[in-house]
Each structure stands twice: as C-alpha cells, then as structure tokens.
Structure 1
Amino acid sequence: MQKAFLFDLNGTMIDDMEFHIRAWHSILNGLGAHLSYEETKLQCYGKNHELLERTFPGRFTLAEKDTMSIEKEKQYQEAFRPQLKLIDGLAVFMEEAKQLNIPMAIGSAAIMFNIDFVLDGLNIRHYINAIVSADDVNISKPHPETFLKCAEQLGVAPENCIVFEDSPKGVEAAAAAGMKAVVITTMHEEHEFAAYNNILCFIEDYRSLTVENLTKEQSFM
C-alpha cells in the first residue's frame, strides 16, 4: 500500500514563522492595524490575500494585495536568508523516504516566490514530487483542498498520506482531508492541538523520527 508524506513549508520544513510574523506585524501596524505580536501570530495562516482581507475587510484591491504580498515576502526573505536551513533531522528523513520510494509533496499557503526560495536555496527540489501553493487552491487551510490536491497529484489515497504540520489550522485541514498528521512544535505547544484526534505524534524536530516506524500499518489506526 503506497504511502506519501505531505509537508507544510513554513515552520514545518524550516523554522521561519517568527520571521513571517515580524514582517506582517511591521506591515499591518504600518497600515494602522494596531495588532500585538500575539494577535499577529493568530492571523498568520492561509494566503497573504486572505490575511490582508481578515485584517482590513474591503480596503485593498487585488492589485494592491499582490503588491503588498510580494513586498512582505521580500522583507521576510532578506531577514531570514542568513538562517535558511532545514529543521534538524529533516534532510536525513527525506533521503530515507526517497530511498524507500515514498513520494513527497509540499502543500503550503505560501506563494511560489517563497517555495522556490526554500527549494532552490537548500537544493532539495529533487525530493519533492508535487507542489500545491497558494496559487493552486481556491480556499486555503483549514479547508482540505491543499492536501487533497497533493494526494491527487501523487496518485495516493488521502487515508495513506501523512501530513507534517506546525499549526492547528494545518492539522484541521489534514483531518478534513482524512489524513493523519505529525505535529512539529516550532511555534505552537501541544495543548493548542487538543481538539484534533488525527495526530500521530508531536516532535521538536525530525531527529526522533524514522520512516520505517512512521509508515507501519498501526500508525494509521
């Protein structure tokens, strides 16, 4: 029975969410939002356009949102580039999965500008068999469309996919897609996921995981 691994990107493959939150905190408050850091953190899910619309309903045109989205990502990339690296253990984990012919996908609310920044900056594109970005879905997480499209592109049944996520909204999307999840606690604590029963385990990084143990049949029960 074919298994597949579906990775969120930010906070899951690279530990960069703090840089996204800082960038949005600066931009949103510069536009008059008056949000605290913690309030900004709660808004950091889904597409950039959706975040802007939640914060400033009806205020900006699509073109204005496009411009602000790119400017935010440029600000984020400039700040994070010196620290760009995979979360500990992930390189070994992905190589093990590749050797075992387990397909891998990225399912992220990031735009391709950011996904390319990571894949090419870390030279890991050869591990990834499918990509579903913000531009590829109508509704982002917690809607399941992102992960269902990943499964479809890989040709693997949703129930045989394991999602790697760092956020409650992402785990909710996995549950809605009928998928189990591994939670990386880079930005959220275990108690914040108490509402979800599709979680296989919590990890701080990938050094404690092996592909063999994770893909055992009992892991999907």
Structure 2
Amino acid sequence: MQAFIFDMDGTMVDNMMVHHRAWQLKLKELGLDLTLEEVKERCHGKNEEIIERLFPNRFTPEERYQVSFEKEEQYRAVFKNELRLIDGLKAFLDKAKAANIPLGIGSAAPAENVDFVLDNLGIRHYFSSVVHSGLVDKGKPDPEVFEKVAKELGVSLDKSLVFEDSPTGAKTSVNAGCQTIILTTTHDKTEFEAFSNIKLFLNDYQNLTIEYVKSLF
C-alpha cells in the first residue's frame, strides 16, 4: 500500500447533514422544494454541476458560481461551531505519518471549504497533496481528482487506498482503480452493494491500525 487518499466531507468531518440542510435552503430560494432525502440523493459532485443538473440551462457559469458561493457561506456559518474530526482520525493520521505513508485529500468541495476544515482543525501539515473542486475539470465520479492526488504524491492509484463515505465516492474509486474503505457517516452499507472494491466499513477511525489496514490487501 503506497498511499492513503481521503475524501473530506463525511469522511474526515461528519458534516454532510449540514451540507444537505444548506442545499435544501438554497434550492428552496431558487424555487425547488426538496426533502432532505431527495437532497441527499441528488446533490453530489461539484456544486456547479449540481446546479446545472437541477436547473438545466437556467444559469450562466457566473450565476452558478454565485449560487454555489452563497450555499457554501451558509454551510460554513452553520458548521463552524460543530467542526471536529471524526473520532479517531487524528490518531490514525499520526500512525500513518509515523509509518511514512503519504497522505492526500481528493475532495469535491470548493477551496474555501477545504481551507475551512484544514486550517481551523490544524491538520494541513499531514497532507502532501490537497486537490479540491477548483483544481479539476470534471467532478466525481470522474477519477480526475484522485488521479491528480496520486500524481502529486508520486504513487500508483492501483496501490493507493481511498477513504470515502458515499456511493458517488465509491464509484470514483472504482473508476480510478482503487480499493476503498467506507465511513458510514451518511450512507447505509446497503447502498454500496454494487461495489466490489470496498474492503471495510467503519463508523469512525477509533482503534484502526495501519497493520490491520494492510492486512486487508
């Protein structure tokens, strides 16, 4: 195993319900009234792609960016007081660094949200590569984000392990040729039955060891 690549939202911080609420409020302002379950099913990937998918040809690229910016401002305002790492993650990152395993982040989140998490929690120094939505042309499940992380880390994707939390993320890792560990913060195990590349489901990172992870492969 050459490297660990982490998704961020729902994988490093348990924030997806806050994102869903922020999307629900913003979409209602735009005239689309969705339940939280509908938001969960339909709002995944890069923000601008979500907006175009839900409102085909309604907004210019500049307007899609503005809608995305406003939604993310709402998210950060709500989540700031709740921001914390998923239990056990910091200890696991320490173990990975001690074992000289390169670490990267491949996130569909915009730069502002990635900075919000990494800098407020003081964990940027763990990661040798951080790729957010602003650095890729295609959002998940296109594998571009993981390909960029692997290139920056100097590792092969087929020898990298991805940590994800969503079916879209699992599909991204399939497309990238990676094995995956899933955090069940947002989605139930039953939603991943189509994916053969999943090695383990976790509620959190507590008691997870590097030796055990390596034994799965």
Aligned length: 217
Shift of 1:208: 3.7
Query: How far apart in 1 are the matches of 2:211 and 2:146?
Result: 22
Q: TM-score, normalised by structure 2?
A: 0.97
Q: What residue number does 1:74 align with?
A: 73
Is 1:48 aligned to 2:59, yes or no?
A: no
Q: Given that residues 175 and 198 in structure 1 are in contact (C-alpha distance below 8 angstroms), is that contact kept between their aligned partners in structure 2?
A: yes
Q: Distance in 2 between the 1:17 and 1:208 partners?
A: 23
Q: SS at the partner of 2:134? A: helix
Aligned equivalents of 1:154, 1:214: Cα separation in 2: 20
Mean CA deviation greater in 32-41 or 198-207: 32-41
For residues 209 and 142 of structure 1, the distance between their equivalents in structure 2, rounded to whole angstroms, comes to 27
Q: Distance in 2 between matches of 1:65 and 1:157?
A: 35
CA drift of 1:138 comes to 1.4
Runs of 4+ in structure 1 off by over 6 angstroms are none
- Which residues of structure 1 form unaligned runs of 5+? none
Match of 1:105 in 2: 104
1:34-74 Cα offsets, whole Å, 9 max, x none, are 22211111122111101101110010111111111111111
- The share of aligned pairs that are identical, in percent, is 48
Deviations for 1:72-122, whole angstroms, at most 9, x for unmatched residues? 111101100111000000000000001111111110110110000000000
Find out whether 1:165 has 2:160 as its counterpart: no
Aligned-residue CA RMSD (Å): 1.0
Instruction: Check the 8 A contact 1:3/1:215 in 2, yes or no.
Output: no
| Alignment partner, residue 211 of structure 1 | 210
Whether 2:22 is the aligned partner of 1:23: answer yes
In the alignment, which residue of structure 2 is the partner of 1:202? 201
Cα distance in 1 for partners of 2:164, 2:67 equals: 26
Instruction: Give per-residue Cα distances to partners, 1:131-165, cap 9 Å, x unaligned.
Output: 11101111111111111111111011111110000
Q: Which moved more, 1:57-66 or 1:81-90?
A: 57-66
Aligned to 2:58: 59
d(CA) in 2 for partners of 1:130 and 1:38? 33
Corresponding letter in the other structure for 2:97: K
1:33 alignment counterpart: 32
Aligned to 1:91: 90
Structure 2: unaligned runs, 5 residues or longer:
none
